[in-house]
Chain A
Amino acid sequence: MIAPCGLALVVLLAGSGIAPASPIYVASQGAGTMVALDSGSAPPGAPLPVARTPAQIAAGPEGRLYLTHPDTRQITVVDGRAGSVLRTLSVPGQPFGLAVSRDGSSLFVGDWSGNRVIRVSAETGTVAGEVAVGKDPAALVLDRSGRLYVADRESRQVSVIDTTRMARIATVPVGEAPFALALDPAEERLYVANVRDGTVSVVATADTRTIATLKVGGMPYGVAVSEDGGRLLVSNQQGGTLVVLDARAGTVQAVVPVGRYPEGVATAGKRAYVANWFSDSVSVIDLDTLRETARITVPEGPRSLVIPQEGAR
């Protein structure tokens, strides 16, 4: 009974133009800070200093956020609700992409130059397992069953990991220099942004196979799927645009100009958010009109942003 009520409330809020309280967390690599944005166009609150050069950010349960620091071999653990740093973990290698286990106890961390994924305790950073993947693991995405997908950037493949055994169960050939990943809500399709050949690979998760390659152009550096699964949102870093595609047909619906060197993309409800690395801003895109409705200044060098899932915040 509780769940349908919550859903109704969200729909009501969206319909009346009142934004639900879903913060967008942005990691700024140059500034070494994290900021929280509301879902509208208000400027962020005070930046939270973290360790140097945070690259990627991921959300866990209970409002927790995790940021990787490849240059300092650290992971910052943030309490998003309190807006404070809880602890800074030391981890081996060059931590870049990361994913959080459903219960929040483990982090899966890509070791960029070590060509492996390690599993560490979210409490202590202690290594609990590792598995070899391809060269230069970039994005990591975990599905609800505990299967982990890893974009092996310089191996032109996605590694598929069974995290219960920390064993690689498949490798899927994709485009050139896969960097970002997104699962559709049903977790039937994995979308892979290939930086160097300007495409998005569509992987069927049931048989771990690439079933389509969509032409985007430029340098796709970020990808997100709309909540209804119908649209793909792809940042084209070279073009300074967000490319909106019909997820089923694979056709381009709109090319929306954003800031310079856009990278991370996240979406919730009727809006998409794009981290403009060069411009030090976040673009807000209205998914009904397919236009940029706001550009919010954030600390220097935003590359990654995340919107915690419903129930996690």
Chain B
Amino acid sequence: MRLATSTAFLLLLATTALAHGPTPQKIDQSITIAAKPDAVWAVLGTFAKIDAWHPQVAKSEGTGGNGADARRKVTLKNGGTLDEGLDELNATTHSYSYRLSDPDLKALPVSSYTATITVSPDGAGSKVEWLGRFYRGDTGNEPPEELSDEAGKVAMNRYFADGLKGLKAKVEGAGQAAP
């Protein structure tokens, strides 16, 4: 029984690893921070250093700095890993765009995503917007509930919201990021 279950899971991984389904979903989250964009960017603006501010991240290792071919390997506290590549980073406009390379359904139940995070002035402080596009974990027509569009939305929205709260806490000097 145990063998059958793990085999089924492996098969699932095999079929979803390359798949990129036909129905993308949006994520759009933002937060205001009581600090100038430069101060926010000082925390946010190094691609590999997501572990400095994201409370779901256990550790992050990067190569290539903030260059065109930069990569980061993000290990989450749930044990999953996100292998991400940087597309573009603009330190002047305080924005970077990146994408998932290979899915890890244990990390996030999605098969692929791209995202952009941007800091802009907002009154005396800043607004940080994190938006993205993702595909559900199983892009076939009958996804199991845990790999559905809804499951992907819940997990991605939580990941983005927790990250923004953590960034705000870090920048505003509240010490440890909110749990």
Show the binding face of A for B, using Cβ within 8 Å. 29-30, 53, 55, 70-71, 73, 94, 96, 112-113, 135-136, 153-154, 177, 217-219, 237-239, 260-261, 277-278, 301, 303
Contacts and interface: CB of A to CB of B under 8 A. Distances in A.
Dominant SS at the A interface?
loop
| Band of interface residues on B | 20 to 34
8 contacts: A29-B23, A53-B23, A135-B18, A136-B18, A237-B114, A238-B88, A277-B24, A277-B133
B5 to A, nearest CB: 23
Contacts of A154: 18-20
A175 to B, nearest CB: 15
A238 B23 contact: no
Interface string B6-45: 0000000000001111111010100000000000000000
B72 to A, nearest CB: 16
Interface of B: 18-24, 26, 28, 87-88, 97, 99, 114, 116, 131, 133, 139-141
A260 B99 CA distance: 15
A136 B88 contact: no
- The interface centre, meaning the residue of A73, A136, A153, A217 with most chain B CB atoms within 10 A of its CB, is A136
Contacts of B116: 238, 260
Contact of B141 (A71, A217, A218, A278): A71
Contact of B22 (A71, A135, A261): A71
Contacts of B23: 29, 53, 55, 70-71
A303 B131 CA distance: 17
A238 B99 CA distance: 9
A292 B116 CA distance: 22
Contacts of A278: 26, 28, 131, 133
Contacts of A136: 18-20
A217 B141 CA distance: 32
B20 A153 contact: yes
B69 to A, nearest CB: 11
Given A70-B141, A73-B141, A94 B22 contact: yes
